[in-house]
Each structure stands twice: as structure tokens, then as C-alpha cells.
């Protein structure tokens, strides 16, 4: 099971990197077009903000699985191994609850966007696929966090 999650997270990590590369390229080309031709790429702002959201949410899923999210070790370092484990378990449970709520909110928002037919301003692209991709990253976070918690308690992390 762990190997399967590692493979999925690896693919998601490459996907997040690809979205970041697309955001960078789109921003660069749009700026060049704006200054040289006084015309930016249509919907470049909407596309970059939607793709950066996907990259962040997918990256959060990877960080949740690897335990590489931001941590404050000031209090944690004052405890022994059992106290540190208790703090880690509590923090992971809080993170799981927060990610589950965030995932729920994004899925509800996705359903609203699908029903409303929301589109981008210039190219009239539907926005729901971007929100669906972002929700997928959050859903992956919610799925991998219990597995990470199990691994943490078992002492493998």
C-alpha cells in the first residue's frame, strides 16, 4: 500500500511541478507580449491563478504524505520521544481535520461552478476542470493523511 501511495504522490508531485512551469512560462510570455505588442495573452491572469491553485493543492498532498509541511519545533524539541509522538499525532489530526474541511468547501464550490457554467473572461473556457483538479489534490491529502498518521504511530516515520 505504501509503495502505491508513493507512486501516486510522485506522479502528483510531477504534475504540480508541471503546473508551476506552465504558470512561469505563461506569465513570462504574457509580460513580453504586453510590453512588445501591448496585448497580453488572453485569460493569462485567470489561467495562472487557477493553475497556481492546482499546484499548491497538489503540493500540499505531497507534503502531507512526506511530513514535509511547515513545523515549529520549539516546543516539540523540549519533549522526549513519547511527547514528540503525541504532539505529532495531535498536529496530524488537526491537519487532517483542516484538510477535510477545505476539501469539502472546494467540492461544494465546484458543484456551484458546474451548475452555474462559470467561464473565463476572454477565451470562455469552463472553470470547473481547474477546480476539479484542485479538489483532487485536496482529496488526495485527505486520503494520504490517515496513512501517514498510521505510519507515524507505527514508528516508521
pLDDT digits (tens, 9 = 90+) for 60-88: 999 999 887 777 778 888 999 999 999 99
**10-36 per-residue burial string, b: 16 or more CB within 10 A, e: under 16:** eebbebbeebbebbeebbeebeeeeee
Q: Is the pLDDT of residue 1 over 90?
A: no
| Contact between 43 and 120 (Cβ < 8 Å) | yes
The three three-digit cell numbers of residue 81, written as one number? 520521544
As a whole number of angstroms, the distance between CA 47 and CA 110 comes to 16
- pLDDT over 90 for what percent of the chain? 83
Q: Give pTM, 2 decimals.
A: 0.88
H-run or E-run covering 55: helix 44-66
Closest-CA residue to 132 (of 101, 108, 96): 108
CB atoms within 10 A of CB 116: 10
Q: How many domains does the chain have?
A: 1
For residue 74, what pLDDT is reported?
Answer: 83
Domain that holds residue 9: 2-154
Treating both helix axes as pointing N-terminal to C-terminal, what angle do 81-116 and 44-66 enclose, rounded to 10 degrees? 150
- pLDDT the model gives residue 48: 96
pLDDT score for 55:
96
Grouping H, G, I as helix, E, B as strand and the rest as coil, residue 99 is helix
Amino acid at each position: 500500500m505504501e509503495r502505491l501511495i508513493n507512486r501516486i504522490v510522485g506522479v502528483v508531485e510531477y504534475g504540480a511541478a508541471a503546473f508551476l512551469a506552465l504558470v512561469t512560462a505563461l506569465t513570462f510570455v504574457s509580460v513580453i507580449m504586453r510590453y512588445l505588442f501591448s496585448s497580453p495573452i488572453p485569460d493569462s491572469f485567470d489561467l495562472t491563478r487557477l493553475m497556481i491553485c492546482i499546484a499548491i493543492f497538489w503540493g500540499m498532498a505531497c507534503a502531507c504524505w512526506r511530513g514535509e509541511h511547515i513545523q515549529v519545533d520549539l516546543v516539540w524539541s523540549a519533549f522526549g520521544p513519547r511527547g514528540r509522538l503525541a504532539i505529532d499525532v495531535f498536529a496530524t489530526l488537526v491537519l487532517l481535520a483542516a484538510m477535510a474541511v477545505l476539501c469539502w468547501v472546494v467540492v461544494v464550490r465546484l458543484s456551484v461552478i458546474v451548475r452555474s457554467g462559470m467561464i473565463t473572461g476572454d477565451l470562455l473556457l469552463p472553470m470547473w476542470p481547474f477546480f476539479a483538479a484542485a479538489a483532487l489534490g485536496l482529496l488526495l491529502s485527505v486520503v494520504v493523511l490517515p496513512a501517514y498518521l498510521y505510519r507515524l504511530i507505527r514508528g516508521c516515520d
